[in-house]
Structure 1
Amino acid sequence: MLVLTRKRNEAIQVGDDIEIKVIAIEGDQVKIGITAPKSVGIYRKEIYVDIEQQNNEAANISFDLLKALKDSNK
């Protein structure tokens, strides 16, 4: 993991087209702004993990349903 120190209004560049900028620091919270192409999904980590889990559950349910349908046609 790369760890960088930034002050308010300073930024980090990721590749050619993603910029992460420190907007404000209030107590123990840091507000950041992210500039990226619309094709890049940007999520809070806990939301991203939840989406992954839901997608995995949906994929498993679909596989189980297909298997049950196949078995019922025998």
Structure 2
Amino acid sequence: MDPDAGYPPFKALTKVIEAFAGHKDGWGMAYWFRSDISFLGGKRPEDLLAPAPHRVIAAALDEIRGIVHG
């Protein structure tokens, strides 16, 4: 991130928030971002938002569909 640009949020974050609208409140989203997600191979969404934003968006969409991965 570039401090001179004012630390803008990741563009993918907007898509994740839009996906969760009506499904998770702010605390629910915060918990999800900090949780190990099986869809992401046991990684946390917050750790993949910068290097693999497409995977985090796909995981959010998968989450609202209610699909359970084991």
Query: Per chain length, whose mean CA-contact separation is higher, i.e. which structure has more relative contact order (CA < 8 Å, sep 6+)?
Result: 2
Larger-Rg structure: 1
Interval containing the TM-score (normalised by the shorter chain):
under 0.3
Structure number with higher strand proportion: 1
Give the TM-score of the pair, scaled to structure 2.
0.23
Higher normalized helix content (fraction of residues) = 2
